[in-house]
A and B are shown apart, each in its own frame.
Chain A
Amino acid sequence: MQQSPIIQAQRLTYEFISHDNHIRVLENLNLSIFAGEQVAIIGSSGSGKSTLLSLLAGLDVPSSGSVQILNKSFSSLDEDGRAAIRASSMGFVFQSFQLLPSLTALENVMLPLQLKNHPHAKELSSGALNKVGLSARVLHYPKQLSGGEQQRVAIARAFATQPAILFADEPTGNLDNATGQVIIELLFKMNAEAGTTLVLVTHDAVLANRCQRQLKLVNGVLNEVVTA
Chain B
Amino acid sequence: MNLSVRLAWTQTLNLWRSGALRVLVFSLVLAVAAITSTGFFTQRVETSLNQQGGLLLGGDLAVLSDHEIPDRFLKRAMNQGIATVKTYEFASMVVFGETNQLSEIKAVAAGFPLRGDLTIGKGPTDIGQVVKTTPNLGDVWLEPRLANLLNVKIGDKVEVGERQLAVSAILIREPSRGGDMFGFAPRLMMNAADLPSTKLIQYGSRVKYQLLLASSPQKVNQYSAQTKPELGRGEKIQDVRNARPEIKSALEKAQQFLGLSAMVSVILAMAAMLLSSLPYIKQTLDAFALMRCFGASKNVVLQVLAIQTLLIAFFSALLGVAFGYIGQLGLAKLAGSLFLEALPPASAMPVLLGIITSVAMMFAVVLPHAWQMRNLTAMNILRRDTLTQPVSAQAKFLPAIVVMVAMIFWQARDIKLAYSTILALSLLCIAIVGISYLLVGLAYRLFNLSTQRPMLNDIKIGVLGLKRRFGLSTLQMIGFSMGLMVLMLLALIRGDLIRNWQASLPADAPNRFVINIQPAQIAGVKQFFEQQHIKGGTIFPMVRGRLIRQNGKDLGKTQWQDERAKRLAERDFNLSWAAQMQSDNKLLSGRWWTSQEYGKPYLSIEQDLAKTLGIKLGDQLDFDVAGTPLTLTVTSLRKVEWDTMRANFFAVAPPGVLEGFSANYISSFHLPLGADAPMNQLIRTYPNLTVIDVAALMQQVRGIMQKMSSAIEYVFIFSLIAGMAVLYSALVATRQERVTEATLMRVFGASRWQVSVAYISEFASIGIIAAVVATVAANLLAYYLSAYVLDIPFQFNLTLALSAMLGAAILIPLAAWLVLRGFLNVAPRQLLNSI
Contacts and interface: CB of A to CB of B under 8 A. Distances in A.
B660 interface: no
Nearest to B758: A115
A14 B227 CA distance: 85
Interface string B718-755: 00000000000000000001001100111111111110
B218 interface: no
Contacts of A103: 468
A117 B450 contact: yes
A95 interface: yes
Interface stretch (B68-76, B249-257, B824-832): B824-832
Contacts of A54: 827-829, 835
A169 B754 CA distance: 26
A95 B461 contact: no
A98 B827 contact: no
A116 B753 CA distance: 13
Interface string A133-173: 00000000001000000000000000001000000010000
Given A102-B468, A103-B468, A143-B384, A85 B832 contact: no
B752 A59 contact: no
A96 B748 contact: no
Nearest to B461: A114
A95 B834 contact: yes
B457 interface: yes
A146 to B, nearest CB: 10
B502 interface: no
A119 B450 CA distance: 6
Contact of A115 (B450, B469, B737, B754): B754
A41 interface: no
B749 A61 contact: no
A59 B749 contact: no
B628 to A, nearest CB: 87
Chain B interface, >50% SS class: helix
| B448, B748, B751, B830, most chain A CB atoms within 10 A | B748
A80 B387 contact: no
| A57, A61, A117, A161, most chain B CB atoms within 10 A | A117
B451 interface: yes
A60 interface: yes
Given A54-B829, A95-B835, A114-B457, A80 B748 contact: no
B827 A59 contact: yes
Interface string B397-415: 0000000000000000000
B246 to A, nearest CB: 60
Nearest to B457: A117
Nearest to B754: A115
B195 to A, nearest CB: 85
Interface stretch (A32-40, A86-94, A185-193, A215-223): A86-94
Nearest to B746: A83
Contacts of A57: 747
A83 B825 contact: no
Contacts of A86: 747-749
B799 interface: no
A83 B384 contact: no
Contacts of A119: 450
Contacts of A107: 468
Q: How large is the interface on A (under 10, 10 to 19, 20 to 34, 35 or more residues)?
A: 35 or more
B834 A61 contact: no
A79 B747 CA distance: 11
B833 interface: yes
Nearest to B832: A98
A96 B468 CA distance: 20
Contacts of B448: 122
B822 interface: no
B204 interface: no
Interface in A54-77: 54, 57, 59-61
B825 A169 contact: no
Contact of A117 (B454, B740, B744, B753): B454
Nearest to A113: B748
B835 A115 contact: no
Interface string B441-478: 00000001011001001000100000011000000000
Given A103-B468, A114-B461, A117-B454, A98 B751 contact: no
A80 B755 CA distance: 11
Given A50-B835, A111-B748, A114-B457, A60 B829 contact: yes
A84 interface: yes
B276 to A, nearest CB: 20
Given A115-B745, A116-B749, A143-B387, A96 B461 contact: no
A96 B751 contact: no
A23 interface: no
A180 interface: no
Nearest to A89: B749
27 contacts: A51-B829, A59-B747, A59-B827, A59-B828, A60-B829, A60-B830, A61-B827, A79-B752, A80-B751, A80-B752, A83-B750, A84-B751, A85-B749, A87-B749, A88-B749, A92-B747, A95-B834, A95-B835, A96-B835, A111-B744, A111-B745, A112-B749, A115-B461, A115-B748, A115-B749, A115-B754, A119-B450
Q: Closest 5 CB pairs between A and B?
A: A87-B749, A86-B749, A112-B748, A54-B829, A60-B829
Given A83-B751, A107-B468, 4 more contacts: A83-B749, A95-B834, A98-B744, A143-B387
